[in-house]
Amino acid sequence: MQKSLIISLLSALLLVIFALGNSDPVVLNFFIGTVKGSLSLILLITLIIGVFIGLLLSYPTLKKLKKNILADKAEITKLKNILDEYKKEYGISKDKTPEDKPFID
């Protein structure tokens, strides 16, 4: 908790120093008009838009990966149940590995 708080405060301090150093007014020309603002504000808005677009475009991949993880967990549970049934059938203790018990024909 304290580590993340320190990192957050240092990041905020660096952001303030950056904003104070880049307060020059800039003009951006778009097809529909112009935007005037400080360089740091324009960069911050651009960063936020970029992060939002990145999250939006990565959402389908994240959803697919989550689906795969859930399927894998279900398969692991199924295989654990099969293993437990096998151990019951052959009298193998859950605590001992097969190497601990000698095999007798």
Q: In this structure, what token pair is assigned to residue 56?
A: 């939006």
pTM passes above 0.75: no
pLDDT(24) > 70: yes
* Whether 26 contacts 38, CB under 8 Å: yes
Residue 10 lies in a domain: no
Calculate ∠ Cα 25-30-35, nearest 5°. 30
46 within some domain? yes
Instruction: Kindly report, residue by residue over 65-91, the tens digit of the pLDDT.
Output: 999 999 999 999 999 999 999 999 888
- Which domain, by its residues, includes 86? 19-93
Distance, in Å, from the CA atom of 75 to the CA atom of 67, rounded to the nearest integer, reads: 12
pLDDT digits over 38-61, tens only? Answer: 888 888 888 889 989 999 999 999
* CA 105 – CA 101 distance, rounded (Å): 13
Total domains in the fold of the chain: 1
